[in-house]
């Protein structure tokens, strides 16, 4: 081998060492960067005229475990869905209040029961009658608050759907553009690893909204297909459609056509947890809006109905006729079972017993339909209403198990049902969270290992020094020849 060939070989070695050092430095600097794929410099022997001619740099490879990433994305979607469910259930549980907590619904019911008993012992005491009115108002207002909160959560879920759809559409367009840029870079022989990192970050961000898998395409491009089989990106990005509703009320449902569903490229798609877009926070938000919240509202209306019907029964208050409202009313009117939806929002106290509304407090003792005040020592109606509140009966509506319950037992079962569902979703969160963390750990283990990279850097240093020594030796030889 001549000096020229040796010099060329050493120079190519120095160049390869310098590029390798750059790649290793980038790996170490981005060891904890989300979406970063470890790089390796691809080298091969260069041969000219049948003889070795140094090192050729073939390009840079981006090393990622695609299987682990795909599984982690699906697990992230499961975690997001469970979290969405749990947040709704926890919020409704908080508004109802825990048993034994002052101001909770169970506490208010216990107060009304105690107020009836106290007033029955002294029916002539106006402060004790006022205590019944105050306690009854507290129950009605509390049920109103829970009902409004359910609708607030439905509206919040609807707005969240709109935001997620906007994020999906925007990210899919950006991924489409990155696909084209990566294809251009690869076609021209330039490194597209940084663009691939950006693309992975975008896919990771939207995979919790809709679980999806990346399918390789020519030139480093990818297609995105949901686990349910919907093609979100393959060359061109799909367009997901949704119409936001500014305010949702009790009577508005998706089934009735008053709330928007989803479209994919203009075609309606299922929003259920078995649809082609199911599995992430998007369909979980639909479940909150159209299933969990509607069920909670329906059960709450059934509780309000149970309460109203206990006191508008003429057998309880003999001063009432068949169509007269009792102590608890449907917006100060007689409750018609055909008008049950939304009753929990309209639930109120009969104005005939409320002095602030022009009524008379003595009607709680003498009868709501009474025209004149009766015997102040008569506790019969107070005792009957106390019995009406505590007697066991079977609820006639809602998604509630048919069993004998007092009103307190019925409302406690409602709270227990929501609490049990919340505990189930929190268990799902714990499982999904563990799975996500395990897969992230596996992903990191297959990513940048700082110790390994430092070892490689030492090898690069040795290689660089060896090639530099070759060049120094050649230089010494040339200087010797020139001095001869």
Q: Domain extents for the chain?
A: 3-64+450-483, 70-435
CA 410 to chain centre: 29
Percent of the chain at pLDDT exceeding 70: 96
Cβ neighbours of 451 (radius 10 Å): 7
Q: Is the pLDDT of residue 382 over 90?
A: yes
Give pLDDT tens digits for 279-293: 999 999 999 999 999
d(CA 156, CA 148): 12
Q: Is the pLDDT of residue 422 over 60?
A: yes
Q: How far is CA 236 from CA 176, 206, 265, in A?
A: 6, 17, 11
Q: Is the pLDDT of residue 134 over 70?
A: yes
> Can you give the pLDDT at residue 58?
67
> Can you give the pLDDT at residue 51?
62
Assign 278 to helix, strand or coil.
coil
- The answer to whether the Cα torsion of 266, 271, 275, 279 is positive or negative is positive
Cβ neighbours of 446 (radius 10 Å): 16
d(CA 83, CA 77): 10
Give pLDDT tens digits for 13-35: 777 777 777 777 877 877 777 77
Angle at 326 between CA 322 and CA 330, to 5 degrees: 100
The DSSP line for 228-260 is TS-EEEESEE--EE----S---TT--TTTTSS-
**Choice among 37-46, 119-128, 400-409 with the minimum mean pLDDT:** 37-46
Q: Name the token pair of 394.
A: 């079977």
Mean pLDDT computed over 161-166: 97
336 versus 477: the higher-pLDDT residue is 336
Give pLDDT tens digits for 315-330: 999 999 989 999 999 9
d(CA 15, CA 7): 12
Q: Which of 88, 17, 21 is nearest to 291 (CA)?
A: 88
Q: Is the pLDDT of residue 308 over 90?
A: yes
Q: Is the pLDDT of residue 162 over 90?
A: yes
In sequence order, the β-bridge partners of residue 52 are 47
Mean pLDDT computed over 340-367: 96
| Contact in structure between 367 and 381 (CB atoms under 8 Å) | yes
Q: Name the token pair of 108.
A: 């208010």
Mean pLDDT computed over 374-397: 93
Q: Is the pLDDT of residue 412 over 60?
A: yes
> Can you give the pLDDT at residue 170?
97
pLDDT confidence band for 366 (50 / 70 / 90) = very high
> Can you give the pLDDT at residue 443?
80
pLDDT confidence band for 50 (50 / 70 / 90) = low
Tokens 């509304």 correspond to what residue? 357
Q: Is the pLDDT of residue 450 over 80?
A: no
**Choice among 254-258, 412-416, 440-444 with the minimum mean pLDDT:** 440-444
State the average pLDDT for the chain.
90
Q: What is the DSSP code (8-state) at residue 405?
A: B
Q: Is the pLDDT of residue 65 over 90?
A: no
> Can you give the pLDDT at residue 52?
63
> Can you give the pLDDT at residue 49?
61
d(CA 348, CA 338): 18
Q: Is the pLDDT of residue 306 over 70?
A: yes
> Can you give the pLDDT at residue 1?
52
Strand order in the sheet with 267-269: 240-241, 262-264, 267-269
Mean pLDDT computed over 160-176: 97
CA 157 to chain centre: 9
Q: Is the pLDDT of residue 378 over 70?
A: yes
Q: Name the token pair of 420.
A: 């049990």
Cβ neighbours of 8 (radius 10 Å): 16
Residue 334: is it exposed, middle or buried by C-beta count within 10 angstroms (0-12/13-18/19+)?
A: middle
pLDDT confidence band for 171 (50 / 70 / 90) = very high
| Contact in structure between 333 and 326 (CB atoms under 8 Å) | no
> Can you give the pLDDT at residue 233?
96
pLDDT confidence band for 352 (50 / 70 / 90) = very high
Q: Is the pLDDT of residue 38 over 80?
A: no
Mean pLDDT computed over 191-204: 90
> Can you give the pLDDT at residue 400?
82
User: At residue 262, what are phi and psi to the nearest 5 degrees?
Assistant: -115, 150
d(CA 20, CA 448): 15
């Amino acid at each position: 081998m001549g000096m020229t060939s040796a010099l060329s070989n050493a120079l190519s070695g120095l160049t390869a060492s310098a590029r390798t050092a750059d790649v290793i430095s980038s790996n170490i600097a981005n060891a904890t960067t989300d979406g970063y794929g470890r790089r390796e410099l691809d080298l091969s022997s260069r041969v000219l005229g049948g003889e070795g001619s140094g090192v050729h740099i073939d390009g840079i490879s981006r090393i990622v475990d695609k299987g682990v990433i795909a599984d982690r994305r699906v697990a992230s979607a499961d975690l997001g869905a469970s979290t969405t469910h749990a947040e709704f259930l926890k919020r409704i549980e908080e508004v109802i209040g825990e048993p034994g907590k002052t101001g909770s619904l169970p506490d208010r019911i216990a107060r009304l029961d105690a107020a009836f008993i106290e007033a029955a012992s002294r029916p002539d005491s106006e402060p004790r009658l006022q205590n019944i009115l105050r306690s009854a108002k507290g129950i009605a207002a509390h049920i109103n608050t829970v009902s409004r909160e359910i609708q607030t959560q439905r509206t919040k879920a609807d707005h969240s759907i709109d935001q997620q759809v906007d994020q999906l559409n925007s990210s899919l367009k950006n991924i489409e553009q990155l696909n084209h840029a990566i294809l251009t870079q690869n076609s021209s022989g330039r490194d597209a690893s940084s663009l691939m990192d950006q693309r992975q970050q975008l896919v990771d961000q939207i995979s919790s909204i809709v679980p999806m898998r990346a399918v390789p395409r020519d030139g480093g491009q990818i297609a995105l297909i949901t686990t349910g089989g919907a093609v979100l990106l393959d060359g061109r990005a799909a367009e997901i459609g949704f119409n936001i509703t500014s305010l949702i009320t009790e009577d508005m449902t998706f089934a009735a056509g008053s709330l928007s569903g989803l479209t994919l490229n203009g075609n309606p798609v299922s929003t259920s947890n078995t649809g082609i877009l199911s599995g992430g926070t998007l369909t979980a938000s639909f479940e909150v809006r159209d299933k969990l919240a509607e069920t909670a509202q329906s059960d709450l209306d059934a509780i309000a109905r149970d309460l109203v019907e206990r006191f508008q029964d003429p057998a309880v208050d003999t001063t009432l006729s068949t169509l007269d409202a009792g102590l608890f009313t449907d917006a100060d009117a007689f409750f018609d079972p055909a008008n049950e939806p939304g009753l929990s929002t309209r639930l109120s106290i009969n104005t005939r017993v409320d002095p602030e509304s022009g009524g008379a407090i003595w009607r709680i003792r003498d009868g709501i339909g009474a025209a004149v005040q009766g015997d102040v020592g008569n506790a019969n109606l107070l005792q009957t209403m106390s019995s009406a509140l505590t007697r066991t009966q079977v609820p006639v509506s809602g998604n509630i198990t048919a069993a004998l319950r007092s009103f307190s037992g019925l409302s406690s079962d409602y709270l227990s049902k929501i609490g049990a569902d919340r505990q189930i979703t929190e268990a799902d969160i714990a499982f999904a969270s563990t799975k996500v963390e395990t897969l992230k750990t596996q992903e990191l283990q297959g990513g940048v290992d700082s110790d390994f990279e430092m070892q490689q850097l030492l090898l690069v240093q040795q290689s660089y020094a060896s090639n530099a020594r070759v060049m120094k030796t050649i230089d010494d030889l040339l200087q010797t020849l020139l001095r001869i």
